[in-house]
Amino acid sequence: MTILIAYASTEGQTRKIARYCADYLNAQGHSVELSGASDAADAELNRFDAVLLAGSVHLGKYQKPLVRLARKKATALAHMKAAFISVSLAAAGTDEDDWQGLRDCVANFASKTGWTPQTVMHVAGAFRFSEYDYFKSMAMRWIASQKDQEVDPHHDKEFTDWAALKTSLDAWLST
């Protein structure tokens, strides 16, 4: 298959996840184009058999370039094999309220863009203290403490389950 992966990433974890998906799908024999969401705005989706859009949650929202891309391509996305990867820290846990919050984020994304993804993969992200300014670092330490998470502000902490991501990609492509 020829697959487009378009992503938006604020601190870099979604970029890492998108690259991982591209490498994995390439290794499976697919032809993959990896692009930032802004650059993908002019892509002709009919060149592709499948599309993966990926973005991360910040204060309940996805990155604007990703929202713009999904809105612009909503009709094409609705008529092809297309999935959405939502990266967040809530997806690292099992709190039912947090998971409801994630479902609400996806529902808001769908109503803003006009594209309701048939497949949504919730992927756990990372604390990236190396990318935070002072205030973000303090806010993220506070969030971690609320969740009883041990974090060291001198070290990034990754929650992404790479094996589960492969399984989700396989399941998506086999449907």
Tell me which of 11, 40, 50, 109 binds ligand FMN, using CB under 6 A. Answer: 11
For residue 139, which of 125, 121, 156, 127 has the smallest C-alpha distance?
127
Our CB check for ligand FMN shows the closer of 1 and 60 to be 60
Q: Which stretch binds ligand FMN (CB under 6 A): 12-20, 21-29, 34-42, 70-78?
A: 12-20
Q: Is 56 exposed, middle or buried (0-12, 13-18, 19+ CB in 10 A)?
A: buried
Q: Which residue is nearest to ligand FMN (CB)?
A: 125
Among 1, 19, 23, 60, binds ligand FMN (CB under 6 A): 60
At closest approach, how far in Å is the CB of 41 from ligand FMN?
A: 19
Contact 73, 97 (CB under 8 A): no
Residue of 4, 22, 53, 125 that binds ligand FMN (CB under 6 A): 125
Is there binding between residue 22 and ligand FMN (CB under 6 A)? no
Pick between residue 33 and residue 156 the one whose CB is nearest to ligand FMN.
Answer: 156
Map residue 19 onto helix, strand or coil: helix
Handedness of CA 93, 94, 97, 101 (dihedral sign): positive
Q: Does residue 19 contact residue 27 with C-beta atoms inside 8 Å?
A: no
Round to the nearest angstrom and report the end-to-end CA distance of the chain.
13
Q: Which is nearer to ligand FMN, 14 or 113 (CB)?
A: 14
Where do contacts with ligand FMN occur on this chain (CB under 6 A)? 9-14, 56-60, 87-90, 125-126, 128, 136, 140
